[in-house]
Amino acid sequence: MPTKISKAKTIQAIKDSIKHWEEDILNPLRKGRKILIINPDHLKSYYWGDTGESVKMGSWCCPLCKLFSSDCKYCPLESCVLKGDAYVVFLDNPCFETAQGMVDKLDSLLPEAERIMP
């Protein structure tokens, strides 16, 4: 079992994850940018269609993944790799609606008094 991670650190990581999704994915999508999937039948890669720049997503930039890197089973998301998980839904169809679904899922993990979304 990993070292105990405090509730405050977990809540902050959730908030930081929401901020990451807002700034790095939702805001560009709001501005009309499109995400392209390269190699959709194998190891998918995601790029911004207008610049070819890699989309900032995945465990290397996720505050929750960084905090729970020693053991994902303790992450409050519980899973982000199973069919139907908000992250998998986004990976299958990377658009504003599915990115918003990921933010909504993260927001639902916060205590009600700390939720960002109305």
Q: Which residues lie closer than 8 Å to 39 by C-beta, 6 or more apart?
A: 45
Distance, in Å, from the CA atom of 8 to the CA atom of 30, rounded to the nearest integer, reads: 31
Most confident of 4-8, 89-93, 113-117: 89-93
Could you state, in order of their start, the residue ranges of all structural domains in the chain?
Answer: 7-112
Least confident of 29-33, 68-72, 106-110: 68-72
Query: Are 20 and 59 spatial neighbours (Cβ–Cβ below 8 Å)?
Result: no
Handedness of CA 19, 56, 84, 65 (dihedral sign): negative
User: pTM of the entire structure?
Assistant: 0.88
pLDDT of residue 5: 85
